[in-house]
């Protein structure tokens, strides 16, 4: 459904420069494209708000994909890689704006044994072995437990807010 100016909504684009679709992936195509008024529209996954003076204001993504140094990174893939570390009990990965690389990847972690947390060097080495270099987190922060929502999901907005506030 269309939203009125000032409301948050997903950004859809259409036109001759929009790619034709994912090769041999009908499920992804069905999820990414819609037909409206005889035109084919692509769901970018970006959440925007239309502002009369600024145009479309980017607010974030509906999924957890970010773009850094020209690479698209699914933050859940970074989390999955970190979960393979035997010493980690919980992992949450967020991205925050960074002037040098467009985004900085932050990994919040809790260890199985709080007295035997992996070192930053150990985590960097592990990421080097498990993830492409561009997906490696820039910052590792240990917590006793990750914050949860009322439905017991990791509270990603709380983690991002805490990081941006310097807590």
* pLDDT for the residue 51: 87
* pLDDT for the residue 167: 66
Average pLDDT over residues 130-135: 94
Q: Quote the mean pLDDT of the chain.
A: 90
Answering whether pTM is above 0.85, one says no
Average pLDDT over residues 132-150: 94
Tell me the CB-side half-sphere exposure of residue 1, using CA atoms within 13 A: 4
Residue 61: pLDDT band (50, 70, 90) is low
Is the model's pLDDT at 120 over the cut of 90? yes
* pLDDT for the residue 138: 95
* pLDDT for the residue 35: 92
Is the model's pLDDT at 60 over the cut of 70? no
* pLDDT for the residue 4: 87
69 or 39, which is more confident?
Answer: 39
């Amino acid at each position: 459904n269309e939203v009125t100016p000032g409301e948050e909504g997903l950004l859809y684009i259409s036109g001759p420069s929009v790619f034709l679709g994912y090769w041999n992936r009908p499920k992804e195509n069905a999820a990414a494209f819609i037909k409206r008024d005889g035109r084919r529209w692509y769901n970018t996954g970006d959440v925007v708000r239309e502002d009369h003076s600024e145009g479309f204001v980017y607010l974030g993504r509906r999924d957890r994909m970010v773009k850094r140094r020209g690479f698209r990174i699914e933050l859940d893939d970074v989390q999955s890689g970190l979960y393979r570390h035997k010493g980690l009990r919980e992992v949450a990965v967020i991205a925050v704006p960074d002037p040098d690389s467009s985004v900085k990847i932050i990994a919040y972690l809790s260890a199985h044994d709080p007295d035997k947390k992996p070192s930053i060097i150990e985590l960097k080495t592990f990421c080097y072995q498990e993830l492409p270099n561009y997906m490696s987190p820039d910052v590792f922060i240990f917590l006793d437990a990750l914050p949860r929502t009322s439905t017991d999901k990791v509270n990603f907005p709380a983690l991002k807010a805490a990081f941006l506030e310097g807590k």
